[in-house]
Amino acid sequence: MHVLALPQTTIGKKAIMAVSGVIWIGYLALHMYGNLHIFQGAESFNHYAEFLRTVGEPVLSETQLLWLIRVVIVAAIVAHVWSAWELYRIAQRAHGSNYAVKRTVQANYATKFMRIGGVVILLFVVFHLANFTWTALPETGITPRQGPYNNVVTAFSNPAITLFYLLALAALALHLFHGVWSMFQTLGFNNRDWDGFFRGLAILVALVIPLGFAVVPLAVLVGVLQLA
């Protein structure tokens, strides 16, 4: 089979979903780790935020590497959504077959909510960008002149924003659990001997990344993080 025809096959679409998922998991892990700089104080967190804009200098101009990363991330999420939609259409066409019924019965709780969770995560990404990158939601009280640290504290001082954030993280946890476990199957690494290990790894990723994100808004709510 020609390599250009691979995306037209079911296994090709699953591979695209897996690889794009790996890119996003890597991004989420780095983003989560970076967010934890906020516990080092306003100066450290603001310095970290500025570093993201200037990383790559003087070889690259300001924000050039940042925009390159953004392009890769956007391409990955477009590929992920496209492959998910294509696989959903394939599953719909196969609906009613013995295989499809068997898979539906065997599906776990996380699997059933993968598509709904994906939509919630997409909506959250847009909301998150509007809040902290575009600052297009003035009713939240976020303004560029406050600086990144105070913007985070101001946003999560609003219980409604924090609740939505935590609900999105719960959807992310379910998405990560099923996605990481099935990713190893798709890429051919998983088998009966390794299934327990990869399932445990999926649980670990599904806990560590969402909890790493969740500690920031929770710290603001209980007063550990306050305006500088």
pLDDT tens digits for range 143-167 = 556 788 988 898 899 898 899 889 8
Distance of alpha carbon 77 from the chain centroid: 9
Cβ atoms within 10 A of the Cβ of 66, count?
15
3-class secondary structure, 10: helix
d(CA 203, CA 205): 6
Q: Between these two residues, 113 and 201, which has the higher pLDDT value?
A: 201
**Is the residue at 67 inside a domain?**
yes
Number of domains in the chain: 1
- In this prediction, residue 137 carries a pLDDT of 52
Kindly state whether residue 228 falls inside one of the protein's structural domains.
no
> Does any domain span residue 1?
no
Question: Does 227 reside within a domain?
Answer: no
Write out the residue range of the structural domain in which residue 123 sits: 7-221
The answer to which of 49-63, 85-99, 104-118 has the lowest mean pLDDT is: 104-118
Choice between 48 and 120, residue whose per-residue pLDDT is larger: 48
The residue with greater pLDDT, 225 or 81, is: 225
DSSP state letters, 103-156: HHHH--HHHHTHHHHHHHHHHHHHHHHHHHTS---GGGT--GGG-HHHHHHHHH
User: Is the pLDDT higher at 194 or at 219?
Assistant: 219
pTM of the model: 0.80
Cα–Cα distance, 190 to 117 (Å, whole number) = 24
Q: Structure tokens of 137? A: 């939601």
CATH number at residue 180: 1.20.1300.10
The answer to whether 110 and 171 have CB atoms below 8 angstroms apart is: no
Q: Report residue 198's pLDDT band, with 50, 70 and 90 as the boundaries.
A: confident
Tell me whether residue 2 is in a domain: no
Domain annotation covers residue 226: no
Across the chain, what does the average pLDDT equal? 79
Comparing CA positions, the residue from 61, 43, 65, 63 lying closest to residue 53 is 63
So what's the pLDDT on residue 67? 84
More confident residue, 138 or 122: 122
- Given this model, what pLDDT does residue 98 score? 47
Q: Is residue 29 part of a domain?
A: yes
Q: What is the pLDDT of residues 82-100, one digit of tens each?
A: 888 887 787 777 665 544 4
105 falls in which pLDDT band (50, 70, 90)? very low
Q: pLDDT, tens digit, for every residue of 174-197?
A: 888 888 887 877 777 767 777 788
